[in-house]
Structure 1
Amino acid sequence: MTQLLAAGLVDRLRLVRFPLVAGEAGRQPAFATMASCDLELVHHEVLDDRLLLEEYHPTGRDIPRALPG
């Protein structure tokens, strides 16, 4: 997926979030190796009392950066 995003071939990113705190024993984050990109939330839906479906579109814009302190 990271190569597709980097090549501009992804027009929709759909995530299902499940609340879970894994701590240090948890798995490697799914997006740890991805380059930063700006996403716009275009749809969200609660599937049940724990699952949240989110749909994002890449904007193609530079990501916002914090101003130096």
Structure 2
Amino acid sequence: MKLSQLILAVAVSACGTAFAADNHGHDIKPMHGGAVAEAKEVEYELVASADKLQLYMRDHGKPVAVAGMTA
């Protein structure tokens, strides 16, 4: 294989992973002013203040009951 073909193949492979890392059109907005992340259809919002950290969870936009959960 020529070096130019190898470089082209690597570049094309790398471009695919860059597009796969996109947010896939999800428009997650923080509801409590924190940082939001999504994993397995659940949205996690971490809110930091001077004296505490709060974690809010939503499943498909609906709040998740966190009573009894510990960290």
Q: Compute the TM-score of the two structures, normalised by the length of structure 2.
A: 0.28
Larger helix fraction of residues: 2
Q: Compute the TM-score of the two structures, normalised by the length of structure 1.
A: 0.28
Higher RCO (C-alpha under 8 Å, 6+ residues apart): 1
